[in-house]
Chain A
Amino acid sequence: MNRRKVLEGGAIGVTGAAVAERLWPRTGFPRRQQESVVAILRCDDYTTCHNAVEDGLRLLAPSVRGKRVLLKPNLVEYSTKATINTHPSVIAATADSLFRLGASEVVVAEGPGHVRDSEMLIEESGLKHSLTEVGRIRFVDLNFDAVRRVTPRGGFTSFRELWLPETVLAADVVISMPKLKTHHWAGVTLSLKNLFGCIPGNVYGWPKNVLHWEGIDNSVAELAATIPIHYVIADGIVAMEGNGPLHGPSRHLGCLVFSNDPVASDATCCRLMGIEPFRVRHLQMTAPLGNASLARIAQLGEPVSALKQHFVLMPEFRHIAAPVHFY
């Protein structure tokens, strides 16, 4: 043992500790023990989605009686050319069904990543009209909501604190309602990536660039470990492929996906889009939060194979495609 070896050993030890500190989840990482339920319900168009939503919620049997429920749809921006957002009919049908199931309050909340004027967005996208028809539903712009300091629980980013909207933190039940889309930075944008809309733009700006600098996948995993998603209702009636989340062409998939586990839901949605979930980096990272493996998912409704398609992917994400079998 000489001085050089001691110094080398010390350097290796310090580097190893630093790497482990970055990679190893730090505090209170909520790992899921129980099996997950995923229900896929066929629904060909939005005019009939109310029945599908009711059926899906009956299968899922969410515990919402007397609770404050927050619906977090995916509203990015409005375009007449592309199907970007969770369809207003699905959101309204969900809110209506939740009231029937005894929810004391239903709030629709979103903090669009590109748009400061949410009033204009909900007006033009038709969401305001749909929510008014149901009644009793409040829309909260999470970009401008009151914020509270939270300690991130995943250890996937260098954030020591996150300022998150009170409305999200105060909800008894959070339901993520993504649109099934491919994404040019993250591969897919589903219930977990949908959490980006919980970051208040008023604090961090438009777009939520702090998350990009931490790495999109790391940020998705960090938010997933910090903000609990209790249920997922994913809009896969008309989905988006290719250059999502804004400019991809529409793809008719004809289904709604319900789950009590965001990881299981996103893994199932990936399989429906012809994507191998374990090749999506943020799903690899968040796997301990839920169940991505088929063996740990109780599959209800339609089987994946009945509706599965092979979505067009950006060249940067061809590696996440599931193999195509020709029989």
Chain B
Amino acid sequence: MFVHFEWRRCVSRLKYRVPTLAAILDHLTAAPVRDTESRALQIIACRNRTHNSDILLRAQNPSGAWSAEPNAGPDNCFHTALALLALKALLPNDPMPQHVAHAFAWLDSIVGVENHWLWKWKFRYFDRQVRFDRTKTGWPWVEGTVSWVAPTAMVMLAHRAWTRDSLRLLTATRMLMDRACPQGGWNAGNSEVFGVALDPHPDFTAMALLALRGVLDRNEAIIAKSLDYLVLRLMNSESLYSLAWGALALDAWSHTGSVDLTRRIRDRLASIDPSLVPVRALAMAVIACEPPAFLKHGGPQ
């Protein structure tokens, strides 16, 4: 009797949810999109429905990079990496198309300014209130600024997705480890300012954890503390965007907490009006429910 009841409840849930996710995907596929992040996430979320990469390729700048919006703003490492991930989702078997190689060549040319001898000197002797190791460098958001967690993590993910190697991945890994918050997790990239530890944030933490999967061991203190932080921080959160990043990261590290987060995302998706949710949050929620190979546990490392 008990088993029968559970079985019926599960079937009723499936009946309720499968069409819901499909409806969300219908909405997402047709949703108008302006910026590169939303476009890239939309493509990854709807990768099994759409196969057209033209709209993304048209937005690529002559430098090889992508900006936040087509023809708006400076070349941006974060958006370039996201666009590369979206292209991988569309072209999983293509070894390395020319526009992808062009984008990677641009990323190779961009480095955080802390790598310059003059600024190394400045950070060593004068500008010492922010604790960070200036020899460990990753990627900045835009040229002419220092390295930050999100662009570095996304560029590392893009390299992994396209199975591209680079000597810079090693220093980028060290940079992410250096910028981790003492209590676990990551924020934008300042772990300690004026001697005070700053708080981590779930999305930056998840990006860094995804980038470090396969590089560090699960038992490393940074990883263990950061996974614990994510579970605790998202326990009462309602934000689809952060829940989705958290679920992806926990799943990538085979943490049991991902099951609960994914269930909560599905529950939220079943109860929202998708037209009121930003495309990037909606797309992230779908990606968390159905991660692409390059983001999920057991994917390429």
- A204 interface residue, CB < 8 Å from B? yes
Report whether A147 and B68 are in contact in the complex, using a CB–CB cutoff of 8 Å: yes
Report whether A116 and B203 are in contact in the complex, using a CB–CB cutoff of 8 Å: yes
- A61 interface residue, CB < 8 Å from B? no
Q: Which of B84-92, B146-154, B157-165, B258-266 contacts A (4 or more CB under 8 A)?
A: B146-154
Please judge, given known A-B contacts A119-B241, A120-B241, whether A149 and B72 are in contact too, CB under 8 Å: yes
Chain A residue total in the interface (Cβ 8 A): 31
Please judge, given known A-B contacts A119-B239, A184-B129, whether A205 and B142 are in contact too, CB under 8 Å: yes
Report whether A77 and B199 are in contact in the complex, using a CB–CB cutoff of 8 Å: yes
User: Shortest Cβ distance from B259 into chain A, in angstroms?
Assistant: 21
Q: Which of B12-20, B73-81, B175-183 contacts A (4 or more CB under 8 A)?
A: B73-81
Which residues of chain A have C-beta atoms less than 8 A from B67's C-beta?
203
B278: nearest chain-A partner, CB-CB? A144
Report how far A213 CA is from B198 CA in the complex, Å: 21
Q: What 1/0 flags go to B229-270 for Cβ under 8 Å of A?
A: 000000001111110000000000000000000000000000
Report whether A205 and B148 are in contact in the complex, using a CB–CB cutoff of 8 Å: yes
Which residues of chain A have C-beta atoms less than 8 A from B281's C-beta?
119
- A299 interface residue, CB < 8 Å from B? no
B77: nearest chain-A partner, CB-CB? A205
- A202 interface residue, CB < 8 Å from B? yes
- A45 interface residue, CB < 8 Å from B? no
Which residues of chain B have C-beta atoms less than 8 A from A146's C-beta?
34, 69
Please judge, given known A-B contacts A144-B278, A149-B72, A243-B194, whether A206 and B148 are in contact too, CB under 8 Å: yes
Report how far A202 CA is from B129 CA in the complex, Å: 26
Which residues of chain A have C-beta atoms less than 8 A from B113's C-beta?
213
Please judge, given known A-B contacts A203-B76, A205-B78, whether A210 and B142 are in contact too, CB under 8 Å: yes
Report whether A209 and B141 are in contact in the complex, using a CB–CB cutoff of 8 Å: yes
- A103 interface residue, CB < 8 Å from B? no
Report whether A210 and B241 are in contact in the complex, using a CB–CB cutoff of 8 Å: no
Report how far A79 CA is from B233 CA in the complex, Å: 12
- A117 interface residue, CB < 8 Å from B? yes
- A123 interface residue, CB < 8 Å from B? yes
Report whether A123 and B199 are in contact in the complex, using a CB–CB cutoff of 8 Å: no
- A247 interface residue, CB < 8 Å from B? yes
Report whether A200 and B140 are in contact in the complex, using a CB–CB cutoff of 8 Å: no
Report how far A94 CA is from B194 CA in the complex, Å: 35
- B196 interface residue, CB < 8 Å from A? yes
Which residues of chain B have C-beta atoms less than 8 A from A314's C-beta?
194
Report whether B239 and A205 are in contact in the complex, using a CB–CB cutoff of 8 Å: no
Which chain A residues (62-78) contact chain B, with CB distance < 8 Å? 77
- A246 interface residue, CB < 8 Å from B? yes
Which residues of chain A have C-beta atoms less than 8 A from B242's C-beta?
117, 120
Report whether B35 and A205 are in contact in the complex, using a CB–CB cutoff of 8 Å: no
Which chain B residues (194-246) contact chain A, with CB distance < 8 Å? 194, 196, 198-199, 201-204, 237-242
Report how far A255 CA is from B208 CA in the complex, Å: 42
Report whether B202 and A246 are in contact in the complex, using a CB–CB cutoff of 8 Å: no
B71: nearest chain-A partner, CB-CB? A149
Interface of B is mostly: loop
Report whether B145 and A210 are in contact in the complex, using a CB–CB cutoff of 8 Å: yes
Report whether A147 and B72 are in contact in the complex, using a CB–CB cutoff of 8 Å: yes
Interface residues of B toward A: which range?
Answer: 35 or more
Report how far A79 CA is from B201 CA in the complex, Å: 11
- A114 interface residue, CB < 8 Å from B? yes
Q: What 1/0 flags go to A114-148 for Cβ under 8 Å of B?
A: 11110110010000000000000000010010110
Which residues of chain B have C-beta atoms less than 8 A from A115's C-beta?
201
- B187 interface residue, CB < 8 Å from A? yes
Report whether B69 and A209 are in contact in the complex, using a CB–CB cutoff of 8 Å: no
Report how far A120 CA is from B78 CA in the complex, Å: 21
Report how far A253 CA is from B113 CA in the complex, Å: 41
Which residues of chain A have C-beta atoms less than 8 A from B78's C-beta?
205
- A207 interface residue, CB < 8 Å from B? yes
Which chain B residues (35-92) contact chain A, with CB distance < 8 Å? 35, 37, 67-69, 72-74, 76, 78
- A46 interface residue, CB < 8 Å from B? no
B281: nearest chain-A partner, CB-CB? A119
User: Shortest Cβ distance from B54 into chain A, in angstroms?
Assistant: 22
Report how far A246 CA is from B194 CA in the complex, Å: 11
Which residues of chain B have C-beta atoms less than 8 A from A278's C-beta?
none
Report whether A144 and B35 are in contact in the complex, using a CB–CB cutoff of 8 Å: yes
Report how far A141 CA is from B193 CA in the complex, Å: 26
Report whether B69 and A114 are in contact in the complex, using a CB–CB cutoff of 8 Å: no
- A29 interface residue, CB < 8 Å from B? no
B193: nearest chain-A partner, CB-CB? A184
Report whether B239 and A114 are in contact in the complex, using a CB–CB cutoff of 8 Å: no
Report whether A203 and B196 are in contact in the complex, using a CB–CB cutoff of 8 Å: no
Which residues of chain B have C-beta atoms less than 8 A from A247's C-beta?
194, 196
Please judge, given known A-B contacts A205-B140, A205-B142, whether A114 and B196 are in contact too, CB under 8 Å: no
- B188 interface residue, CB < 8 Å from A? yes
Since A213-B113, A247-B194 are in contact, a sample of 12 more A-B pairs with Cβ atoms closer than 8 Å, ordered by chain A residue number, is A77-B199, A114-B201, A116-B241, A117-B242, A119-B240, A141-B278, A200-B68, A204-B74, A205-B148, A206-B188, A210-B142, A247-B196
The 7 closest A-B CB pairs, nearest first, are A205-B141, A203-B73, A120-B239, A209-B145, A203-B68, A206-B188, A202-B68
Q: Can you spell out 6 A-B residue pairs with CB atoms less than 8 angstroms apart? A: A117-B202, A120-B239, A123-B237, A123-B238, A200-B73, A203-B76
Residues of A within 8 A of B (CB): 77, 79, 114-117, 119-120, 123, 141, 144, 146-147, 149, 163, 184, 200, 202-207, 209-210, 212-213, 243, 246-247, 314
